[in-house]
Chains A and B, each alone.
Chain A
């Protein structure tokens, strides 16, 4: 079970720390990570595996939202399948 986390906003210190802390606390593993500037926004994309997750999808989403609010950035959590479905034939 994989999901994509997208963090968009202004670059600052502690982004990876805050997000990965929330993931660690819920036993979610980071499999891949990339950072880029897209349309003048700092964008971080993370591929995570949540098979061993110790909470519901909703709770993880809420935890990431809290981390996002602390950072002043928008954080999204979506299952990976949606991107696969839309962009792979």
Chain B
């Protein structure tokens, strides 16, 4: 037989036992041609274009999933940052655009639509400010719309006026969605060095440098990596790195195949593969469990940062060999609420907020899906964002903050979002104020190593 029985069985085990899946296939759609002088017309055009372009996305992904026997969990859409599309619009108009996106997501059957976004790393336009003011209402009044803001970059530095605003936006969103554990905040990400082709939510948007439409794919597979590492127990760390690399290669190749097939069938060019190890709340589908299998008693103990750095790097090396177009965030995700091992580590006191911050300096995103006490001040949230942005800007990497100050909840309580968003224990943060630092506003200059020309 041309195929080796062992390989066939291995693939089937990866899918059935170790939860291998294609985490998301995301169609990026440019909305630049929807811009008009009249916000009502713009909203109509947004709905029409998205529903037309993505009409076959969900059906095709399901068909491909069945043919290859590998589940494609999420089908999503990302669009041009809405702040750029609503030229001349005021904050109420922007909320209408969010409704148009939400309706389009419902009509096409996708689970999330991202791109209610703005890029303000260097400063605001007048319409950016109207847009930012609309975010809490937009998140509270829609189901599937995700929002992201880029507040810093290694080239531009950090817009501290924007950082200051983000704290307030997050607090307002938490209040407006207080009946549902402040779930609005789970759909809002603040970035530094945001990428234009990220297929993962809540931070996906279709960057201004992207083509008319594109198919991006995000793979997953923490369970597969864990299972492979169980077989090399006690071996030197080089063997661990090599094993992760080989596994990441296989996972990525499966993703590439799905991406190419999707692109062909919906007649939209293939964009990038995002080589991310994205966990789910399911046991056995956890990044924390991979770190623990490497020899750490609990995720969050000393050695966690080193283990995560090794994991992140090996995933990239294996994935890059498997795909010619790698992009997005590409690395290991450490969202607390979406990872059973991380939740467990927080509850046991092994993983603290500060350790989590250290881990974000070597992984692919940042403070992700972390619940904090509802009475946290806006300036403290801003200061957390400033720290994370600084890690990204100085280290030339993407960092993000998706934090939920769950209304009425205290440290030790559990916040429940349901589904893929999971549940999160409320984590303790510093009780000291950052108020005056954040009140200064202004701009943190770009780091010296950004001057490369």
Contacts and interface: CB of A to CB of B under 8 A. Distances in A.
A79 B68 contact: yes
A47 B2 contact: yes
A43 B68 contact: no
Contact of A87 (B1, B68, B69, B250): B250
A52 interface: no
Given A58-B66, A77-B69, A36 B254 contact: no
Interface residues of B, number: 22
Interface in B151-184: none
Interface string B1-19: 1111101111110000000
B7 A86 contact: yes
The prevalent SS among residues of B at the interface is helix
A84 B256 CA distance: 12
B70 interface: yes
A2 to B, nearest CB: 9
A32 B253 contact: no
Nearest to B321: A89
Nearest to B254: A86
B306 interface: no
B67 interface: yes
Interface string B131-157: 000000000000000000000000000
B257 interface: yes
Contacts of A87: 3-4, 7, 10-11, 250
Interface string B37-58: 0000000000000000000000
B88 to A, nearest CB: 48
A26 interface: no
Given A83-B7, A86-B11, A87-B11, A78 B1 contact: no
A36 to B, nearest CB: 6
Contacts of A83: 3, 7-8, 11
Given A57-B67, A76-B69, A77-B69, A82 B5 contact: no
B1 A82 contact: no
Given A86-B250, A86-B253, A87-B250, A45 B66 contact: no
B5 A85 contact: no
B257 A82 contact: yes
Interface string B247-263: 00010011011000000
A58 B10 CA distance: 24
* Most chain A Cβ neighbours within 10 Å, of B5, B256, B257: B5
A45 B68 contact: no
Interface string B202-234: 000000000000000000000000000000000
B68 A38 contact: no
Given A78-B69, A87-B3, 4 more contacts: A43-B9, A45-B3, A78-B67, A84-B3
